Amino acid sequence: MEVLLLGIYSFFVWLIFFKFKWLPWNTVSQVVVITIPIVGMTALILALNVVAPSSHDVRVIKYVINMSSDQRGRVLDVAEGNKPLRKGDMLYRIDPTQYQLQVNALEAQLANTVGSSKELEEQLTGTQAQVAQSKSAIDQASQRVATSRADLELATLRVTQNRELVAKGAGSKFDLEQAETNLRNARSTMDGALSAEAQARGALGQALAGERQIRQRMGAKSNGEWAQIAQIRAQLEQARYDLQQTTVRAPANGTPVNVQLRPGALVTVLANMPALTFVEDEFTVVALYDQNELRLVKPGDEAEIALETMPGEIIKARVDSIIWAQGQGQSAVSGVLPNTAGPPPPPGRFPVKLTVDPKYREAFFAAGARGAAAIYTEHVEAIQILRKIMLRVGTKINYLILKLH
């Protein structure tokens, strides 16, 4: 762009001083002619660097996921590397045999436990009926004991009365013998009632003991289900999850790269030993700027990007945010004091995150692609057209491959 402006300026100088000779070509005019472009170009570039700062260090960054399995096993299938995949597509699959056997065993154990629990529930229902029956028998026996006790007291009173009458000669000896017989019968009935009550209470104790044993075998309930069944069901769900994890799937739209995994390899569950690397299609564009270039830049400003992988293309974007942090602002944890003896390092640059216009989202942005960018602030917009022209000239130059071999 600077060369173009100088060419236009030289053309007008030729017209004025040489073609039409409107002004004399002397020492003064020569100094003026040379000074004007130097001062003008310097002022213009300095102004552009403030109101439309540019960066020649633009980077396309993509999320990289180190894929590893939750399960250990022998690899059966592997997706082809460097081929785009959709979210949920298979990356690789390990042998599921041992995990399927675990699922089968727990399903059988669950069915057996459910059947046993139903038998125990039926037994519990029977013991509860025995408990109710025993309580009813105790109530009946208690009533018989109360009735027998009343009859015994009455028979005892009759014997006492008849003995007194016989002793005074006013009573019949037969009546006394009859009363004594009734007393013996009442005592026998009382003993039978007490024995029946004791038997009923013993039966109640046995029924309660049987109920407690069954409840202990069944355990407590968890979410309306017996604990033993709930525990096996949870183990079965875990086993099914483990079986599902034998197939590792793409976590997002992207591409597996540098796939060295092959069928027959043994994969482990160590996080620091990934089986393959997966690069998502989602990307972030970052432009690096010197520390004094971002005074007027704010989120929402218009921006344009020219990537070397897309020569001739100008990608519209907006400033998402400025990351006001970089490595020189962090002091590493150490047991020694900071070393300040050496020369100061050059000031680090600050990254500016750019949001690409949605109509360019389907374009291919290679991870690690480099290029240039310009941000157009709301100040002195009249001269920002020059920055746009510079950027477009630069992206056309990207067509050139400047090497001799």
146-184: pLDDT as tens digits: 787 777 777 777 777 777 776 777 667 776 677 778 777
d(CA 12, CA 250): 63
The whole-number pLDDT of residue 125 equals: 74
d(CA 123, CA 210): 9
Give the C-alpha distances (Å, rounded to integers) separating 157 from 153, 175, 176, 180, 192.
6, 13, 11, 10, 21
Chain-centroid distance of CA 356 in Å reads 28
Residue keyed to tokens 């390990």: 94
Is residue 66 within 8 Å of 277, Cβ to Cβ? yes
Provide CB contacts within 8 A for 353, sequence distance 6+.
284, 285, 286, 319, 320, 321, 322, 323
d(CA 233, CA 117): 14
Provide CB contacts within 8 A for 131, sequence distance 6+.
204, 207, 208, 211
d(CA 89, CA 364): 20
User: Angle at Cα 324 formed by Cα 306 and Cα 64, nearest 5°?
Assistant: 60
Is residue 250 within 8 Å of 87, Cβ to Cβ? yes
| 99-239 belongs to CATH 1.10.10.10 | no
Q: How many CB atoms lie within 10 A of CB 405?
A: 2
Is residue 54 within 8 Å of 60, Cβ to Cβ? no
Amino acid at 250: A
The architecture that CATH gives domain 68-95+241-267 is: Beta Barrel (2.40)
Start and end residues for every CATH 1.10.287.620 domain found in the chain: 99-239
Residue keyed to tokens 């090497």: 403
The whole-number pLDDT of residue 316 equals: 94
Residues, the chain, total?
405
Give the C-alpha distances (Å, rounded to integers) separating 398 from 61, 311, 314, 362, 404.
20, 5, 12, 21, 16
Amino acid at 223: N
Start and end residues for every CATH 2.40.50.100 domain found in the chain: 68-95+241-267
Q: Tell the burial category of 187 from Cβ atoms under 10 Å away from its Cβ (0-12, 13-18, 19+).
A: middle
Is residue 300 within 8 Å of 319, Cβ to Cβ? yes
d(CA 124, CA 210): 8
What is the mean pLDDT for each group of 10 consecutive residues in the chain (405 residues)? 68 76 79 79 84 93 87 91 92 92 92 73 70 76 77 75 71 71 77 77 74 64 68 90 91 90 85 82 93 92 94 93 86 77 81 92 87 93 88 89 79
Residue 168 token pair: 């005074």
The whole-number pLDDT of residue 124 equals: 66
Give the C-alpha distances (Å, rounded to integers) separating 207 from 118, 135, 197, 203, 226.
19, 10, 15, 6, 22
63-74: pLDDT as tens digits: 998 888 788 889
Provide CB contacts within 8 A for 54, sequence distance 6+.
48, 372, 373, 374, 375, 387, 390, 391
Residue keyed to tokens 């069901």: 233
d(CA 107, CA 100): 11
Strands of 90-94's sheet in order across: 247-249, 90-94, 73-78, 266-267
Residue 14 token pair: 């030729």
